[in-house]
């Protein structure tokens, strides 16, 4: 039923993410994508996630297209100046990679090359403006292209931010710059997320809610303590703690959240954190 952009316009979509390998063997990535075909409409290809050097996402994304899988290219500002960013966007478009998610990226000091110099030449909304300019036939400096791009531009938003008014203002700026879809931080409180959706109802964008299945009590406590904008309710943590089958409990909680979100937003982005084999079970339960 068409590409990801068409699917977003038509109804509820499911996206997930794949991490390129630290090396050149991409078979495991292709195997995971193949396992999830029919369940996931598009895969974010991370860009040296957590500042850990990995295969260039544009290469992994191109390989996915060759295997009939639609990629969503993450592009961070951490490692590139505006010249390199535009060059990479043009290259992605030529290779048929049209979905793009623009973000800042994790700082180098937390990764495996802590002495690397961060670039951050442009802010996230400026990178969105760059992509929008290329779609309109010129580069960021106003120079004409010989052919425009056809990028489907996305961004990220944190509906659980402590200062939600500021977060929404940033979202509005990104939307005004040209972002047409937003993937969010993990959602656990559907009612709070509904309130967030009401607050941004004036924006003509597709919102894809983050889903991060709770793999363990330890994982939940770490997320609550260390990841900004995540608040896993104590009742859910207790369910996991009391479960005879933690995996099955995790699947049930995630599927219940997705079911509740189907009438609230435009889709879900499932971040399985190495447990991608559970995604079909989660979505089968939702469909049932």
* Per-residue model confidence (pLDDT) at position 2: 63
- In CATH terms, the fold of domain 4-157 is TIM Barrel (3.20.20)
State pLDDT tens for residues 114-123: 999 999 999 9
Mean pLDDT, residues 3-7? 94
Are 70 and 4 spatial neighbours (Cβ–Cβ below 8 Å)? yes
State pLDDT tens for residues 21-80: 999 999 999 999 999 999 999 999 999 999 999 999 999 999 999 999 999 999 999 999
Is 111 exposed, middle or buried (CB count within 10 Å of its CB: 0-12, 13-18, 19+)? middle
* Per-residue model confidence (pLDDT) at position 273: 87
* Per-residue model confidence (pLDDT) at position 38: 93
* pLDDT, greater one: 2 or 249: 249
What is the Cα gyration radius of the chain? 19
| Residues forming beta bridges with residue 138, ordered by sequence position | 144
> pLDDT band at residue 274, thresholds of 50, 70 and 90?
confident
pTM of the model: 0.95
Q: What does the alpha-carbon distance between residue 91 and residue 80 come to, in Å, rounded to a whole number?
A: 14
State pLDDT tens for residues 237-269: 999 999 999 999 999 999 999 999 999 999 999
Measured at the alpha carbon of residue 19, what is the angle toward residues 131 and 15, in degrees to the nearest 5? 65
Helix %, strand %, coil % for the chain, to 5? 45, 15, 40
For 67-79, letters b (16+ CB in 10 Å) and e give eebbbbbbbbbbb
State pLDDT tens for residues 188-227: 999 999 999 999 999 999 999 999 999 999 999 999 999 9
* Per-residue model confidence (pLDDT) at position 1: 44
Q: What is the DSSP letter of 144?
A: B
Are 112 and 49 spatial neighbours (Cβ–Cβ below 8 Å)? no
pLDDT above 70: percentage of residues in the chain = 99
Mean per-residue pLDDT over the chain, rounded: 96
């Amino acid at each position: 039923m068409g590409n990801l952009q068409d699917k977003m316009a038509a109804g509820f979509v499911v996206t997930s993410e794949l991490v390129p390998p630290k090396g050149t063997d991409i078979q495991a990535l292709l195997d995971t994508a193949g396992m999830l075909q029919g369940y996931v409409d598009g895969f974010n290809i991370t860009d040296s996630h957590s500042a850990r050097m990995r295969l260039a996402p544009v290469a992994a994304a191109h390989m996915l297209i060759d295997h009939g899988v639609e990629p969503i290219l993450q592009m961070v500002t951490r490692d590139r100046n505006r010249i390199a960013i535009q060059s990479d966007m043009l290259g992605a478009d030529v290779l048929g990679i049209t979905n793009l998610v623009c973000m800042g990226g994790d700082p180098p000091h937390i990764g495996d090359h802590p002495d690397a110099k961060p670039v951050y030449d442009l802010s996230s909304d400026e990178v969105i403006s760059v992509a929008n300019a290329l779609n309109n036939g010129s580069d960021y400096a106003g120079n004409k292209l010989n052919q425009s791009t056809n990028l489907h531009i996305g961004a990220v938003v944190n509906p659980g931010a402590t200062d939600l008014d500021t977060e929404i203002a940033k979202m509005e700026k990104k939307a005004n710059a040209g972002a047409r879809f937003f993937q969010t931080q993990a959602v656990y409180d559907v009612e709070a997320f509904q309130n967030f959706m009401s607050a941004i109802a004036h924006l003509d964008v597709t919102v894809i809610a983050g889903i991060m299945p709770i793999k363990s009590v330890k994982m939940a406590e770490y997320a609550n303590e260390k990841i900004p904008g995540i608040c896993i309710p104590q009742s859910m943590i207790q369910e996991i703690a009391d479960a005879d089958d933690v995996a099955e409990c995790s699947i049930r909680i995630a599927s219940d959240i997705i079911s509740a979100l189907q009438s609230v937003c435009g889709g879900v982005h499932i971040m399985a954190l190495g447990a991608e084999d559970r995604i079909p079970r989660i979505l089968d339960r939702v469909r049932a």
